[in-house]
Amino acid sequence: MDDLFLVVGLGNPGNRYDNTKHNVGFETIDLLAEKHNIRVSKLKHKALYGDGTIEGKKVILAKPQTFMNLSGESVREMADWYKLPMKNIILIYDDIDLQLGKIRVRPKGSAGTHNGMRSILYQLQSEDFPRIRIGIGRPPEGWDLADYVLSKFNADERKTISESVVQAAEAVSVIIKSGAEAAMNKCNK
């Protein structure tokens, strides 16, 4: 279905992961849902999801409920169910290789160090879908990576990340309306 977009934010389910670095994808979905009056409350394909319209196109907003490392199972089920071309699947997730708050849009690419994305690339057998990465910065010296990505934002970081989530949501709209290249030109500063 060429006129349907699947927008997936990555994160971990459950209140204890709210405001953690690994959950900026979920936050972006929540903001998009609020902004476009989409209720993300149905449970199917191992995801919480809702459908509506963004930029005049049909969209499904989804938050996989598998925990991060198995996100691909949920994304593949939805991609298969809706028979989506790869270019209509938009992923939003955190990236330790970008400084805190920086946004990067790419039309395709590797998983880098992100286990959720590794799972998705493996399950979809493709890397040809647009993605929006939100920088969370590298862990401080001596921190374990898993502890860092599951840690909560402090007040200063929160302010920066809240702005980034707004930018990521705008990037989704640009991708839907004009494609990943246009979003790269507008959002990659």
And the tokens for 75? 């994304």
Total number of domains in the chain: 1
* 174 confidence band (pLDDT: 50, 70, 90): very high
153 φ, ψ to 5°?
-75, 140
Q: Any bridge partners for residue 41, and if so which? A: none
How far is Cα 25 from Cα 108, in angstroms, rounded to an integer?
A: 17
Q: In terms of residue numbers, what domain contains 66?
A: 4-187
Per-residue pLDDT reduced to its tens digit, 45-91: 999 999 999 999 999 999 999 999 999 999 999 999 999 999 999 99
And the tokens for 44? 């199917």
User: Is residue 114 a contact partner of residue 95, using CB atoms and an 8 Å limit?
Assistant: yes
Q: Please provide the distance, in angstroms rounded to a whole number, between the alpha carbons at the two ends of the chain.
A: 32
Per-residue pLDDT reduced to its tens digit, 153-162: 999 999 999 9
User: Is residue 21 a contact partner of residue 149, using CB atoms and an 8 Å limit?
Assistant: yes
CATH number of the domain bearing residue 47: 3.40.50.1470
- Of the candidates 48, 55, 26, which has an alpha carbon nearest to the alpha carbon of residue 174? 55
And the tokens for 160? 């920066």
170 contacts: CB under 8 Å, gap ≥ 6: 187
User: Is residue 5 a contact partner of residue 57, using CB atoms and an 8 Å limit?
Assistant: yes
* Catalytically active residues, by annotation: 22
* 1 confidence band (pLDDT: 50, 70, 90): low
Would you list the DSSP string of 58-103? EEEEEEE-S-GGGHHHHHHHHHHHTT--GGGEEEEEEETTS-TT-E
And the tokens for 91? 């992923």
pTM above 0.85, yes or no: yes
